Amino acid sequence: MKMRRMDRLVSDRAEIERIIADSSVCRVAVKDEEGLYIVPLSFGYVYEGDSLTLYFHSAKEGRKIRAVGSGCEAAFEMDSMSRVTEGPTPCNYSCLYSSITGTGRASMVEDIEEKKLALSLITEHTAGRRFKFSDAQADSVAIIKLNADTFSAKEKAQ
């Protein structure tokens, strides 16, 4: 899908990584038998070349786990809003922001080493440092992996 406001497109890899790093929450949408379902999640990531992989932790049961199951299509969004800008009329108010939206395939991570890596990436992103996790700790949670097939970044900085 083509972006309507191409003047807001962010294509520089370092800037895209900055937007990801500045986003504290990623909203993930999936579809299940009840319909569409979206949930905000803390996350970790690997961004190498043009490839973006997102990791999320979860309880082992619940609607999102049932929806992801053995794999499903998913959409995601992350953003950071810096401030609202005023204008001469209410219709001229705006918001300065940066965001990334995309789609991909979500699946459950079963490999214990990948689960430990995912938990380390999540803590690095959310707490600012990587922790080491035991097999038992990694086994106590579910890890969802979302491989982004497509994503785009945009920003309104002024």
pLDDT single digits (tens) 56-97: 999 999 999 999 986 789 999 999 877 777 788 888 887 778
Structural domain includes residue 1: no
Q: How many domains does the chain have?
A: 1
**Structural domain of residue 72, as residue ranges?**
11-156
Whether the predicted pLDDT of 5 surpasses 70? no
Residue 86: per-residue pLDDT: 78
Structural domain includes residue 45: yes
Residues of the chain with pLDDT > 70, as a percent, come to: 93
Kindly report the CATH number assigned to the domain that includes residue 22.
Answer: 2.30.110.10
154 SS3 class: strand
155 SS3 class: strand
Structural domain includes residue 54: yes
Per-residue pLDDT, averaged over 125-133, amounts to: 94
Structural domain includes residue 38: yes
Residue 97: per-residue pLDDT: 83
Query: What is the pLDDT confidence band of residue 49, given thresholds at 50, 70 and 90?
Result: confident
> How would DSSP label each residue in 23-79?
---EEEEEEETTEEEEEEE--EEEEETTEEEEEEEE-SSSHHHHHHTT-EEEEEEEE
Structural domain includes residue 2: no
Structural domain includes residue 84: yes
